[in-house]
Every structure is written in C-alpha cells, then in structure tokens.
Amino acid sequence: MITKLLPPLIIGDLKINVPIIQGGMGVKISTAALAGAVANCGGAGTIASVGLAQGRITDSNNYIEYSNKALQKEIRKARKLTKGVFGVNIMVALSNYEELVRTAVKEKVDYIISGAGLPLNLPKYTQGSSVKLITIVSSARSASIILKTWKRRYNRLPDAIIVEGPMAGGHLGFKADQLNSNTTDNLMTLVTDVIKTVKDFKADIPVIAAGGVYDGKDLIKFLELGAKGVQMGTRFVATEECPVSKRFKDLYVAAQEDDVIITQSPVGMPGRVLKTEFINRLKRSEKIPFKCNFHCLHSCDVKSAPYCIAQAMCSALKGDFDNSIVFAGSNVTRINKIVSVAELIKSIIEEAAECLIGKLKTKSEKN
C-alpha cells in the first residue's frame, strides 16, 4: 500500500514499482538468486555478467561459449524465480562484451546496464530488439558523448542513464583523490548536471542516482532532485538472498571507517575495497602469481598486472580473504545486520514514506 506513495520508475514500457535498481555485482555476487528476490519485491534485479566462467573452466578456447551459456543459465534461473523486472549488467571493459550483449538480447532480458567505459557501440548489438539500454556515467561529459554518438550513429538514445558517484562500491570512474568524501553532495551535483545535459539535448530520459544511496531518506532526496530512481549495490550484499558466503557478509557487517580503502585495480580504475590480508600482501609489493586464461578485460595489461582481479573477486565469494578483493561502497560501515531482501526494501519504503509525510506535515504547518 505504502509503495503507492512512491512514483514507480518508468523506463520506456517497463514499470518498476519500487524505484530501486539492484546494481550488478560481479564476480557472481548478483546472480539470479539476488536479482530474482529484488524483482519479486517490486524493484529491478540485475545479474552481473562478469566472471561467470571464472573458476569453472581453464580452457581459453571455450571461454566465450561457456560465458554465454553461463549467462543464459542465470537469466533462465531468474525467469523461473520471478515475474518481475530484471536485467543484466555488462561492462564495456569486458573482452567478450559483444557476445554477452547478444546473449542477453536473445534471452529477452528487460534491460542491459552498461558502464566501466563508454558503451558507444551498444545499440549496434541490440538492433531489432526491445531490450532497454541503460548506461552508467560518472560525469555530464560522458552522458553528453553517449547522447550525441548514439543519436548520430543509431538515431536512438539510452532508455535511462545511471549516474554513479564517488561513494559507490566496485570500480569507480574517478581519480583516486576524488574519492575521499563521505557525503552524497558530489552525487547530487553530478545528478543535477546530467539532468541538465539530458534537458539541453531535448530528451526525456530518466536519470537514476547511484553510489552512497543508503536509505529511504536518500531515495527521497534524489527523487526531489529530479532523479527517477536509485541504483544500490552495497546494501544488497548484506542480504540473506545474496549468494556470497557468510564470511563475506560478516566482513561487511564488521566494517569500520578505516577498513574501507581505495586501491588501484588492474582494470585501470580505482576501486573501493575492504581491507583484507590480500591488501596487506599488495602493500608489501608481494608478487601474486596468476595465470591469465581468458584475458577477460580489454584494459587489463596482463604483463604488468600485480594480480588477477577476476580470480581475486572469485576468492572473495567463499571468504578466502588472503587471496581476495572485496569491493564495497562507502556506506558499508553503516550496515549492522544481514536482512532479507524483502525486509531491506520494506524498510527503505517505510523510511521514504516517513520522510515524505514529515515534509507534508511541515508544509501544512507553515501554511
């Protein structure tokens, strides 16, 4: 009932009743189990396509085929779990980007979210399908480049734009020295700038805020700013349905301010991670042996990479922290328990409703 207070997130003909997209989280963090649970609660659930072959095959000849099949399997699993809205996150930086996009299209997902680079060719791989195309940007400049290029090359525009600010978890489209602040002020400025860019382009595209969105108050703050929804990652890791190990979730629950650090990833971007023994090994400049079987990321220079990011993310799943990179957003320090996806979404909706009602009361008292 209370959901009715919140406007749904409309992306073309998709209606997401609770205006929250669960962000794609690789490697194997946001699989069908999490995406399906979020979609069942009225949000949009996103399967991360990166690294689905990691730890399963070693033969590079089968990499593309196996990755496609693994993605197909996750999509079909999610479809069995939910009748709600779900899609796939496919990073531009992936060497099998085109193949994964084509697989997602064939499997008729509701949307594809693409960031970690500018998805300038995305419409080429999805022609003839009704899949919604959502791009992630970290600046109004990137949004402008995508709008102009898609219009010129394909005569179409993104169906939605996610603006990811510096508080997000995962790889970040900012320089390391821009990542110190622990408030959503920067994201608010970025969202405002991107909304203006879209308006200047005379386009009507929903803008979605991501990175540091924690509760219902944050949701309302961004809706009032003109965003049509939010994307959230970190909070969904600490849910019962997220398929990572208990050790992984416990690390989230225990995280304190000084456990959250920025590290340079072999992807060529900084990333926000939790301190683990692995980070200490990197600090000691320890050589971490690895064999690159697939060259899964365009941007990874295998010869100079100090470790394999895909392998390190895969090790995190079971809680092998001597060997793992554990991505997390700035707000991880506020998480103090593991809840179900339904409880998490319900609490955000209730906080949002409380915030709205409070604002209405203040307004009527003034009048």
Ligand X SMILES: Cc1cc2nc3c(=O)[nH]c(=O)nc-3n(C[C@H](O)[C@H](O)[C@H](O)COP(=O)(O)O)c2cc1C
Pick between residue 139 and residue 201 the one whose CB is nearest to ligand X: 139
Q: Which region, judged by CB under 6 A, interacts with ligand X, from 102-110, 175-183, 324-332, 344-352?
A: 324-332
Sheet bearing 20-22, strands edge to edge: 20-22, 229-232, 207-210, 160-164, 132-137, 111-114, 86-89, 45-48
Binding mask 203-222 vs ligand X (x if CB under 6 A, - otherwise)?
Answer: -------xxxx---------
Pick between residue 198 and residue 335 the one whose CB is nearest to ligand X: 335
CB of 36 to ligand X, least distance (A): 17
Structure tokens at 225: 């700013």
State how far the Cα of 148 lies from the Cα of 137, in Å rounded to an integer. 14
Structure tokens at 79: 């479809």
User: With 0-12 CB in 10 A as exposed, 13-18 as middle and 19+ as buried, what is 238?
Assistant: buried
The H or E element spanning position 263 is strand 260-264
* 187 in contact with ligand X (CB under 6 A): no
State how far the Cα of 77 lies from the Cα of 54, in Å rounded to an integer. 19
CB of 45 to ligand X, least distance (A): 12
* 89 in contact with ligand X (CB under 6 A): yes
State how far the Cα of 291 lies from the Cα of 35, in Å rounded to an integer. 31
CB of 191 to ligand X, least distance (A): 13
Structure tokens at 159: 């169906």
* 260 in contact with ligand X (CB under 6 A): no
* 266 in contact with ligand X (CB under 6 A): no
CB of 24 to ligand X, least distance (A): 5
Q: Which of 23, 42, 84, 117 binds ligand X (CB under 6 A)?
A: 23
Q: Which region, judged by CB under 6 A, interacts with ligand X, from 165-173, 185-193, 198-206, 300-308?
A: 165-173
- Cβ contacts of residue 340 below 8 Å, gap of 6+? 37, 239, 240, 241
Pick between residue 35 and residue 210 the one whose CB is nearest to ligand X: 210
State how far the Cα of 86 lies from the Cα of 96, in Å rounded to an integer. 21
Q: Which region, judged by CB under 6 A, interacts with ligand X, from 199-207, 281-289, 327-335, 353-361?
A: 327-335
Q: What are phi and psi of 110, to 5 degrees?
A: -70, -35
Q: Which of 31, 82, 184, 231 binds ligand X (CB under 6 A)?
A: 231
Looking at the DSSP assignment, which residues form a beta bridge with residue 47? 88
* 87 in contact with ligand X (CB under 6 A): no
Structure tokens at 69: 């099949």
CB of 363 to ligand X, least distance (A): 30
Sheet bearing 270-274, strands edge to edge: 170-171, 270-274, 260-264
* 109 in contact with ligand X (CB under 6 A): no
* 271 in contact with ligand X (CB under 6 A): no
State how far the Cα of 222 lies from the Cα of 21, in Å rounded to an integer. 14
* 19 in contact with ligand X (CB under 6 A): no
Task: State the residues that interact with ligand X by CB under 6 A.
Answer: 23-26, 29, 48, 50, 89, 91, 115-116, 136, 164, 167-170, 210-213, 231-234, 237, 327-329, 331
